[in-house]
Structure 1
Amino acid sequence: MSGWQQAEFTRAAGTRMHAAVLGPADAPDVVCVHGLGCSHRYFLPLARRLAPRARVAAPDLPGFGRTPGPPEPLDVRGLSVALADWLRATRRANALLVANSGGCQIVADLAVHAPELLGPVVLNGPTVDRHARSPLHQIGRQLANSRLERATLGVVIARDYLDCGPRRWLATFRYLIEDPIERKLPHLRTPAIVARGSRDPIVPRAWAQEVTRLLPDGRLAEVPGAGHTLNYSAPHELARIVGSLLPEHSAGVPR
């Protein structure tokens, strides 16, 4: 838990869900939703920049990070139901949600079956581009993105991949590719920002613009020169974007 303030464990989704927490107890809640194979760990750079004015919680979804998962990997709906159960159990309904990559698909699915739980949303690098919905396309884009990220991200993610294991990773990868996020985005009716690094090969600008158009109340924000994982490799810039959705009394978050 190095760098985090608290390890929180909650009975939810039929397991003992872990969340890493940082920030003042009386500050507005920000909930971070991780992507494929990842965990709370790669949200720490962003949490550190938000923590002066926000209470940041980064839950590990079942089967990832420090949260035990069922023998059979959960699909997108299973993961979003788990997130919904955790939001209810921890009384974090209507918190500002910051999702990365596949986490954006989980949040979009949440909007379909539990819209009452949603607060404002930041979709950081939303996948999967419907124009490149194949394993070959996605793996190629991920490899191209790797040179745009901070070198230490590989170390963090390698540990997370070991935690979840290759079987769960591959099954979740398949579920994410098959998930039609574009059909769910119109259900996300809270204020939303699509955040994208200007050099992100996983989420091309045309796809980010399409995602933004599908949102009832969405806008696009780009970070010049950045890749896909803004929460780790461009946390200051992403914190400014997130800060624009926080309540006015949280104006101290870097903008």
Structure 2
Amino acid sequence: MSRLTRVAGGPYEPPVAARELTVASADGARLHVEVHGPEDAPAVVLAHGWTCSTAFWAAQVRALATDHRVVVYDQRGHGRSPAATQLPYTTDMLADDLEAVLGAVLEPGERAVLGGHSMGGMTMMAAAGRPRFQEHAAAVLLCSTGSSALVAEATVVPLLRASALRTRLTRSVLGSKAPLGPVTPVAKRVLKYATMGPGSSPEKVDACARIVHACPRGVRYGWSHVLERLQLDAGVEALTMPVAVLGGTVDRLTPIVHARRIAAALPNCVGLTELAGLGHMTPIEAPEAVTATIRELSDAYVKSQKGADAA
């Protein structure tokens, strides 16, 4: 990560991992994985979203690693995971990568809370029917995500109602090949409008901007096509374990209608949290709320099971 895009200092500086490893996915893609916290603690595995990295979960890692084993990994092409040599990107790659990480960091039969933000939530949906996912997922958090119709329902293009024109313009914005360039005041204003709530503090906007601007242009462009064609409604229905859903009410990338639709379709939704006035970057915009939801899931479905097994 370059000097211009590094988050340094404060709660959003990436914490130092207890250990790091490289995991090979099904097609040989190499994934950077970090493990934080005590090795014998209840496990949490977190998958970040499009254009982000393990740094996006810094606040959750720092808070949870006191009494959890927190695993974060860079999606292929993001952070320290090299870009795939096999293109185009697909949702199957997301599922393959998550399965590879779960197999590398969890013992056979070990249950964990699995959480995903944005494309990380789509990773959960893509992997939902996979045997290894079913083996390890005690509960799931879907955070600021959607399962289909992302471009048609996004509102990042201002002042236009839903229409074919808005969809075309949104597609061109999200799928742009243009470099994001350095993190400037103008760049931060643009990113705040598109991805965050109007009340987001300058520190939170700066952290998000530095993480997003670190994503390689080609990777950003390649994954944008996956998001454009996304169809994972069946994956939502395959999430049969307890699932909590969280979203911001002014999210422009995955408007709150997505969270509501997912919650209604889930076989076992254990809560829909709507964060008033917040945008798409909820783990950074509302770190305490996201962390609290993960803790609640762990207490109810991981720690309680460990206690029952010990008894």
Residue 232, structure 1, aligned to residue 284, structure 2 = yes
User: One-letter code of the match for 1:62?
Assistant: R
> Residue in 2 aligned with 1:62?
76
Counterpart among 64, 80, 95 of residue 50 in structure 1: 64
Is the 1:20–1:58 Cα contact (8 Å) retained in structure 2? yes
> Residue in 1 aligned with 2:18?
6
> Residue in 2 aligned with 1:127?
146
Aligned equivalents of 2:74 and 2:130: distance in 1?
20
Aligned equivalents of 2:69 and 2:252: distance in 1?
31
Residue 108, structure 1, aligned to residue 129, structure 2 = no
**Structure 2 length as normaliser, TM-score?**
0.71
Counterpart among 226, 231, 255 of residue 175 in structure 1: 226
> Residue in 1 aligned with 2:264?
213
Alignment CA distance shift 1:154-1:20 (3 Å): farther
Give aligned pairs, total: 251
Larger-gyration structure (1/2):
2
Tell me the CA shift for residue 124 of structure 1.
Answer: 0.6
User: One-letter code of the match for 1:74?
Assistant: Y
User: One-letter code of the match for 1:87?
Assistant: L
Is the 1:129–1:203 Cα contact (8 Å) retained in structure 2? no
SS in 2 for 1:119: strand
CA RMSD of aligned residues (A): 2.8
SS in 1 for 2:106: coil
Is the 1:63–1:73 Cα contact (8 Å) retained in structure 2? no
Tell me the CA shift for residue 104 of structure 1.
Answer: 0.8
Aligned equivalents of 1:203 and 1:2: distance in 2?
25
Aligned equivalents of 1:53 and 1:223: distance in 2?
26
Q: Which runs of 5+ in 1 are unaligned?
A: none
> Residue in 2 aligned with 1:75?
90
Residue 89, structure 1, aligned to residue 104, structure 2 = yes
> Residue in 1 aligned with 2:46?
32
> Residue in 1 aligned with 2:252?
201
Aligned equivalents of 1:221 and 1:75: distance in 2?
29
> Residue in 1 aligned with 2:195?
145
Write out per-residue CA displacement over residues 89-130 of structure 1, whole angstroms, 9 at most, x where no aligned residue. 222663211110111111101003344243310001012552
Q: More deviation in 222-231 or 80-89? A: 222-231
User: One-letter code of the match for 2:18?
Assistant: Q
Write out per-residue CA displacement over residues 130-181 of structure 1, whole angstroms, 9 at most, x where no aligned residue. 2527464475897443354443455445554555421221110110221112
Q: More deviation in 39-48 or 88-97? A: 88-97
Identity %: 25
Q: Which runs of 5+ in 2 are unaligned?
A: 1-12, 155-166, 175-189, 305-311
Q: More deviation in 205-214 or 19-28? A: 19-28
Aligned equivalents of 1:135 and 1:98: distance in 2?
31
**Structure 1 length as normaliser, TM-score?**
0.85
> Residue in 2 aligned with 1:98?
115
